[in-house]
Amino acid sequence: MIELTVGICMVTYKRPKQLIKALSWIRERTMYENYKLYIIIDYEDNDATLKELSSSPFYEENVEMFPSRVECVKATNRCYSIGDEPYFVWLSDDMEVEKEWLKEAMKCMQTFPNAEGLVTFKDGIQNGRNACAGLISRNYIKTMLNGIFYNEIYKHFSADTELYEKSKSLGRIKYCPTSVVWHNHWGGEGKHKSQQDSIYTDSRHLFNKDGTTFARRIKENFNSR
């Protein structure tokens, strides 16, 4: 199989040491050689993550930090526009890839018509029942999702679920259990990190608002932006 270029986008917020650990696993365990790494930082007033990256093996990677706090959805949505590779992966800083994860995901991608769709990983929590991380075709977003990846009608929650539901209705989502990307939820004691993780508790107030928006979007069949 020809290795088409894949962008790997890591989204992070106030977890500099955890980020370095997650990036190290990508470098050590990604056997698929044709990839480009991007790091998206939601705004931090102390630049701790930028400082940690500057003294790490990842100091030359593509790094962006938002000039103000934007929350999870907008930060993740930047993964779609930051590169131009035909495929990209989006991950968060509490995820741990296993060996061959990207090779296996790309094999699953090839089973779609024109190799265009959404592939989800075995993560130990959702295991294909949502799209909080995945591998996706940029052309699929352009041609079948009206150019919308993570819908910024939401702030922190539910954009992944909308993406999952739309892809499911289109028949363009596949769960790839041989592609393993553990979602560790460090600091969350096995629960939703916005409830237990001190880094995310300040976003908890958005849960009900985004949930109400999602309920409305279901009634609209996700037709409008």
pLDDT at 130 over 90: yes
What gap in Å lies between CA 53 and CA 160, rounded to an integer? 27
What is the side-by-side strand order in the sheet with 173-183?
Answer: 62-65, 35-41, 6-12, 87-92, 134-137, 118-122, 173-183, 95-97
pLDDT at 48 over 90: yes
Give the residue-averaged pLDDT of 40-45. Answer: 95
Residue 205 is predicted with a pLDDT of 82
E strands in the chain: 6-12, 35-41, 62-65, 87-92, 95-97, 118-122, 134-137, 173-183
Closest CA to 72 of 26, 100, 103, 40: 40
What gap in Å lies between CA 139 and CA 157, rounded to an integer? 25
Yes or no: say if 129 and 146 are a contact pair by the CB < 8 Å rule: no
Handedness of CA 50, 92, 164, 173 (dihedral sign): positive
Residue 141 is predicted with a pLDDT of 98
Least confident of 21-30, 126-135, 144-153, 215-224: 215-224
Q: What is the pTM of this model?
A: 0.93
What gap in Å lies between CA 116 and CA 10, rounded to an integer? 22
Handedness of CA 26, 53, 204, 155 (dihedral sign): negative
pLDDT interval class at 224 (50, 70, 90): low
Per residue in 85-111, pLDDT (tens digit) is 999 999 999 999 999 999 999 999 999
Give the residue-averaged pLDDT of 20-26. Answer: 97
Residue keyed to tokens 């990604």: 30
How much is the mean pLDDT over the chain? 92
The residue with greater pLDDT, 129 or 192, is 129
Yes or no: say if 87 and 138 are a contact pair by the CB < 8 Å rule: yes
Residue 72 is predicted with a pLDDT of 94
Structural domains for the chain: 6-219 (3.90.550.10)
pLDDT at 127 over 90: yes
pLDDT at 225 over 70: no
Determine what percent of the chain is predicted with pLDDT higher than 70: 92
Closest CA to 131 of 158, 102, 96: 158
pLDDT at 1 over 80: no
Per residue in 161-173, pLDDT (tens digit) is 999 999 999 999 9
